[in-house]
Structure 1
């Protein structure tokens, strides 16, 4: 038998594609392996077909995935081992199709079946997946009772128990809202360079009530709609152009950074205004534009004064750069691009790492980064009103600066 005809080799190739974030190729490889196994009459074929369905779902082809899953279940032989595998994969397919409640029940069933078979490792994985799906389906507060029930059915010394316990603890301490809250995925990056880079995008993650430490948080349809609605992005090329602009700090008004760059340490407001005017005069900037950017310096001073009162800046501490606003959004753009299918996991992670590295070069602390991020956001949306945009940004800063579970509290800057 050649290596290419060996179903085991095909499965290895399919799993490799999965790890690399290449679900389309993984689905094709799983389909090929399933066909070989079906030709042999191998009882494992149904599970591999379900794995194909799971890969299709990850590629954003949810309806096709549901069809493949249904066919696999219809053709599956009897047996608790086969049923456990099918339930486990079905949970992922149903979740991708937006049917989180059904997905949670299938994951719970997989946990029970694997436990009865003595496969504690896969039972723990399925149980933790069921817990995440319960939270997704009901919201954190309504998930407390079912999570307690689930936790009571898991061995207390297992990794699954620890993961579910963390989700339960998070649900129990959630405030009465699903936004402006810190969410940490127990299976996401917790430490290291990737986690530190993901934490650069934590402002938006907290604001949206999604996990800060994972790239695969949302469904493809939601992310495609978000990118088209908020960014005008409808394809991979448009997504990459937005990523480039964000990583190069070119998405925001360049006048803001120019104004900040004219301020030297200890410079008084009048001298700062004169420096801005001088810069404009050297470049023959129009009188109207010169007036506008000088006024911008006054607005920045107003925000800095309010930042100090609200704890975003220390006494006499200024904001040096607003590039953090672009870097923070770049992290989330990577998450949305991956969810929308505009990039693979490797490209998304590279974007995140680049954003983190550039933020660490510009700023010296989480606090200074946060102040720069918030100022950039305020100058785009709040325009000196100190309204809802400002209030929610301050809440996000305080959550990240004060919550003991925050990555900003648990990891040093840089």
Structure 2
């Protein structure tokens, strides 16, 4: 049972965009904690520690049950243009159960500090700024473009050889690149079968990095690392590049979810949840993707 809980939690971290290396680290830490918990419970002749561990994951499951609902802050004071920019990160914010129409996520200061520290290794304003600038200037889209070019200019066998010889710096990085190459091939087939993209379409990776800039800025504001002006200024920097790259909320969402599949792999249940989440954002009368048209804030 504990192992199932771990897998559920790790899947939620993967959906956030954490690397395979980070997921492996969390897996090791959590398994070590469970072993210690079991030892303590055995020595004390009780189940208190195990019950506490189970309660933590049951609480997380209860939160998951509400993830189909659109979370809005009725007291938001953002302008329409600012809300539009926030809405560009709605795929990730919806997954996290955060507000979709405000700078604040709706989470506490400590919760945001913990998430930034555990998921991003960010514990200061300086580290937050460094990560955001990396996402602006490089991010994961450079590697994505390299994998895409390798896959589409030569055979899969030649693509694997190219990545091994010219891109990977070590065995771990090589395996990660090859897995993402396989993920990209599978994602293309799946998204084309479900008529999410045309046969000759390459989903653009920009939103995978920029949605995380938006949500990191919001988390950084709630954590106390950014003031309101700093967070909003950073978020508004994403608007023009996003507008130039995409032409609808659905295209933006499909691109984000495609990149998510490339980075995390494809699981049937996750793909089903992704489709449901996209449907909620595109159809719920309260969703910012419904109340704000794509071109209204130009």
TM-score (norm 2): 0.64
Match of 1:301, SS state, is helix
2:82 to 169, 176, 194: 194
1:307 to 191, 211, 220: 191
Residue segments in structure 2 that go unaligned for 5+ positions in a row? 1-62
Decide whether the 8 Å contact of 2:70 with 2:287 is kept in 1: yes
1:407 correspondence with 2:288: yes
Residue segments in structure 1 that go unaligned for 5+ positions in a row? 1-174, 264-268
Decide whether the 8 Å contact of 2:67 with 2:94 is kept in 1: yes
Q: Structure 2 CA distance, aligned partners of 1:400 and 1:324?
A: 16
Residue of structure 1 equivalent to 2:261: 378
Count residues with an aligned counterpart. Answer: 230
Q: Structure 1 CA distance, aligned partners of 2:76 and 2:149?
A: 37
Residue of structure 2 equivalent to 1:316: 199
Residue of structure 2 equivalent to 1:326: 209
Instruction: Mark the CA change 1:179 to 1:284 in structure 2 (over 3 Å): closer, same or farther.
Output: closer
Decide whether the 8 Å contact of 2:67 with 2:95 is kept in 1: yes
Instruction: Mark the CA change 1:331 to 1:270 in structure 2 (over 3 Å): closer, same or farther.
Output: closer
Q: CA RMSD in A?
A: 3.5
Residue of structure 2 equivalent to 1:205: 93
* CA deviations over 1:24-79 (Å, ceiling 9, x no partner): xxxxxxxxxxxxxxxxxxxxxxxxxxxxxxxxxxxxxxxxxxxxxxxxxxxxxxxx
Residue of structure 1 equivalent to 2:222: 339
1:244 correspondence with 2:133: yes
Decide whether the 8 Å contact of 1:249 with 1:327 is kept in 2: no
Decide whether the 8 Å contact of 2:203 with 2:258 is kept in 1: no
Decide whether the 8 Å contact of 2:217 with 2:234 is kept in 1: yes
Decide whether the 8 Å contact of 1:180 with 1:396 is kept in 2: yes
Decide whether the 8 Å contact of 1:215 with 1:335 is kept in 2: yes
Give 1:19-38 correspondences, 5 Å limit.
Answer: none
Residue of structure 1 equivalent to 2:123: 234
Residue of structure 2 equivalent to 1:395: 276
Instruction: Mark the CA change 1:262 to 1:181 in structure 2 (over 3 Å): closer, same or farther.
Output: farther
Q: Structure 1 CA distance, aligned partners of 2:77 and 2:114?
A: 26
Q: CA deviation at 1:330?
A: 1.1
Decide whether the 8 Å contact of 2:247 with 2:294 is kept in 1: no
Instruction: Say which one has the larger Rg.
Output: 1
Q: Structure 1 CA distance, aligned partners of 2:160 and 2:112?
A: 43
Q: Structure 2 CA distance, aligned partners of 1:348 and 1:407?
A: 20
Instruction: Mark the CA change 1:407 to 1:309 in structure 2 (over 3 Å): closer, same or farther.
Output: farther
1:180 correspondence with 2:68: yes
Instruction: Mark the CA change 1:317 to 1:186 in structure 2 (over 3 Å): closer, same or farther.
Output: farther
Give 1:103-252 correspondences, 5 Å limit.
Answer: 177-188=65-76, 192-216=80-104, 217-250=106-139, 252=140
